[in-house]
Amino acid sequence: MTNKLLLILIALAAAAPAFAGQAAEPVIVVQGNADIRVAPDEATVRLGIVRQADNARVTQEQANAAAQQILTAITRLGVPQQQIQTSRLTLSPVFAPRSPESRDAPRIVAYQATNIISIRLDDLSKIGAVVDAGLGAGANQLQGVQFGLRNDQAARRQALTDAVNEARRKAEAIADALGVRLGGVLEVSESGVSVVPRMDSEVMMVRALQADTPTPVSPGEVQVNAGVSIRFRIGAASR
């Protein structure tokens, strides 16, 4: 046991100069962040069907019939069926109103069925037509449109490049202020790259439900964020 302890102490003593030298090396550590905006290349439209009746089966059948009519109307616009899916399907009882002091058991007076249909579009020019077709075929909810990036690699690379460039500019400014020379890169770590989808719902919902004119849609831009952390060596004094 004593021999093992002695060997550990010798190993630590031998490694101490290396650790001390590493800790003593002067560095500049900076964070670089980038926020770029690009045009979206896909959109998801969410249409809802809500039906209510006094019989559960009848309620569900009414919602199913409306869903089929919506599917037919949208596929006529050239949207492939595989890009249309049911994202939520519920059937729940509706209870009669009760006063707070009532001790009567809850009484079911109807049933409500909800069916949410999501339509993914690669052709953004069809968004307004899809909304209008869905509402015309029986949808009575418009839960909005989400714009995103399906082909996002180029945008991610650009955001990372911009984040690295910002980090280097920060490091150069710090080195210049300290009167030292910026050395080589010791370490780089990516803190994340994210694509933030954009939602557009409120104005569209009001216009789509109040007017017979085609629903206007403005895709706008999608935000892409990136962050990096870089450790630079500090060289000799520059002055």
For residue 215, the model assigns a pLDDT of: 72
Where does 42-97+105-148 sit in CATH, by number?
Answer: 3.30.70.2970
Q: Going along 71-221, which residue ranges are E strands?
A: 84-95, 108-121, 141-148, 180-196, 198-200
26-40+150-196+213-239 CATH pick, 3.30.750.210, 2.40.110.20, 2.40.30.10, 3.30.110.170 = 3.30.110.170
CA–CA separation, 36 and 224 (whole Å): 5
**In whole numbers, what is the pLDDT of the chain averaged over residues?**
85
Helix axes 202-210, 127-136, angle to 10 degrees: 50
pTM: 0.72
Burial of 204 (0-12, 13-18, 19+ CB in 10 A): buried
For 85-101, the pLDDT digits (tens) are 988 889 999 998 888 88
Q: Is the pLDDT of residue 69 over 80?
A: yes
Lowest mean pLDDT among 23-27, 110-114, 137-141, 151-155: 23-27
For residue 217, the model assigns a pLDDT of: 76
Whose structure tokens read 């560095």?
Answer: 27
Boundaries of every domain in the chain = 26-40+150-196+213-239, 42-97+105-148
Burial of 144 (0-12, 13-18, 19+ CB in 10 A): middle
